[in-house]
Amino acid sequence: MAEIRVDPGSLRSAGGTARLAGSQLMALAGEVRAALSGVAGAAPPETSGASAAFGGAVEAGAVAIGDGVGALGSNAESAAAVYEQVDHEAMPASGGRPGAR
């Protein structure tokens, strides 16, 4: 069986970066809603419904992507913690050194 090597610090760092990106995407969704609500109100009656629908779809997309990216980051951080726990508790040959497998 192939050996698995993980650098928990790098995994945790990538997770934090992904969580931050997810938060930024969620903030973007709010900015999109605010910007496009003004457009929908200023649009002619024939296009205001389409503008509102477009704004809602863009906002929903940003929220969905932000949720997914944020969850990915949280999962990566959790995985790093689990790898470290295994190193310390179940892998005595590693001497409890993170990443020493």
User: pLDDT 10s digit of each residue in the chain, 101 long?
Assistant: 788 788 999 999 999 999 999 999 999 988 988 887 777 677 787 787 887 788 889 889 999 999 999 999 999 999 999 999 988 888 766 555 555 54
User: Hey, where are the domains in the chain?
Assistant: 9-87
Backbone angles phi, psi at 97, to 5 degrees: -90, 120
Give the CA distances from residue 52 to residues 25, 58, 65, in Å, rounded to whole numbers and listed in that order.
20, 10, 20
Question: What pLDDT, on a 0 to 100 scale, did the predictor assign at position 98?
Answer: 52
Give the CA distances from residue 16 to residues 11, 41, 92, 94, in Å, rounded to whole numbers and listed in that order.
9, 38, 29, 26
Nearest one of 4, 9, 27, 12 to 74, comparing CA atoms? 12
Q: State if pTM tops 0.85.
A: no
